[in-house]
Structure 1
Amino acid sequence: MVLAASGISKTYRQGIWPFRRRNHVLDGASVSLHRGEVVGLVGENGSGKSTLMQILVGALSADAGAVDLRGSLGYCPQRPVVFERLTCDEHFELFGVAYGMTREERVAAQVRLYEELDFTRYADERADRLSGGTLAKLNLALALLPDPSVLLLDEPYAGFDWDTYLRFWDLVGRRRASGRAVLVISHFIADEDRFDRIIELRDGKATQK
């Protein structure tokens, strides 16, 4: 097992005193990932998918429960985290330094990702001039850059055209074959046969479909 989250609970307080109430978003949710496994996490809007994802990556603390990560982690958030004035190449260089990669490692991964996601021609384009689909490619590529053992993807193919969607699943398939683990969060999963398991988040709990 490369990632295990057990008994995750998270409550938000809403409203103003004395009418404040508690909103139990997660109530003992548990999720696990094994090597070479692609898992889908599905749930309606507001079911707590993104909250759980943020807890898994350490961006948000849980009220209860524990997360055990064994290996390196890559995270592709639903909303791209980019710098508007930097080009795609400059993003790769910046993130490569943050990941502690050598220049040779970063360049090799960068070239491969440009080709796999088909956006080499935008290498010198600033982020604020990219289309939504190309920005989504950059967002995904930055998460993949260090070849993490665990990859967490929050609505990763929103904005992808059909060709990019197929490229995405080819890329995920290669990661599965190499023993990497992938968790895909979405409000709706169409191609269920592409997943090893699908987990549904409902009423704050995670259950296997």
Structure 2
Amino acid sequence: MTFAPALQAPAVLAATGIEKSFRRGTWPQRSRIPVLRGVDLTLAAGEVVGLVGENGAGKSTLMKILVGALAPDGGTVTHTGRLGYCPQEPVVYERLTCDEHFELFGRAYGLSDQAERSARRALYEALGFARYAATRTDHLSGGTLSKLNLALALLPDPEVLLLDEPYAGFDFDTYLKFWDQVAERRERGRSVLIISHFVTDEERFDRIVELREGRAVPR
């Protein structure tokens, strides 16, 4: 499916002048290495944007700053509506089942029991892993764990969805289901930012932005 560009839509996420450095080395040779050098990035309502860059370019660092998991050294981030975040490494509890994760995250999101159960059923169906509902996460394959990771980010139906390498470990069928979810969200005016080391199917994106030398540049 080819997406038409989102035109004149209001910004739902805006990052301005984002700077971040990290200390490297041991004392007395420790130094600060700049990773982000004034990144500007906006995401419009109903827009699907890809964020690419070489390893170490700062993609995951920027994503953590956008969701508030990491403080920038400079710059500001503003957003409207709820953020959903799918980190590169799943944040799960080994002794809990998939169902128990949905219940736990649903309460954290402030969802009613009915809303959580309804969203859970829909996500199991959409991503094709209902048969693992009662399976503990330490018994899941990497691909199924990635499905759960994505589903937990989708659970509250956030206005802005931020995904860090979301389809790593997906088979081709799940990859297509993932894009069905993105298309459905876009049609409803939801926004998606996807980090990837490389982008295929470029026609699925409205824009692709590259992190290069600490700044975001159109590609």
**TM-score normalised per structure 1:** 0.99
Counterpart residue identity of residue 102, structure 1: S
The residue aligned with 2:120 is 110
Residue 148 (structure 1) aligned to one of 144, 150, 158: 158
Aligned-partner residue type, residue 120 of structure 1: A
Structure 2: distance between partners of 1:61 and 1:85: 31
Note the C-alpha offset of 1:190: 0.9
What stretches of structure 2 of length at least 5 have no aligned partner? Answer: 1-10
1:63 aligns with 2:73: yes
Q: Distance in 1 between matches of 2:81 and 2:126?
A: 24
Matching of residues 100-179 of structure 1 within 5 Å: 100-179=110-189
Q: Aligned residue for 1:95?
A: 105
Q: How does 1:69-80 map to 2 (within 5 A)?
A: 69-80=79-90
Looking at structure 2, the residues matched to 100 and 77 of structure 1 have their Cα atoms a distance apart, in angstroms, of: 20
Matched AA of 1:179: G
Partner SS for 1:2 = strand
Runs of 4+ in 1 over 4 A off after TM superposition: none
2:22 corresponds, among 12, 34, 37, to: 12
Q: Deviations over 1:74-125 (max 9, x none)?
A: 0000000000010000000000000000011001100000000000000000
Q: How many residues align?
A: 209
* Offset of residue 17 of structure 1: 2.2
**Structure 1 vs Structure 2: percent identity of aligned residues?**
67
Aligned equivalents of 1:165, 1:12: Cα separation in 2 = 34
**Mapped partners of 1:25, 1:108: distance in 2:** 41
Matched residue of 1:58: which SS?
coil
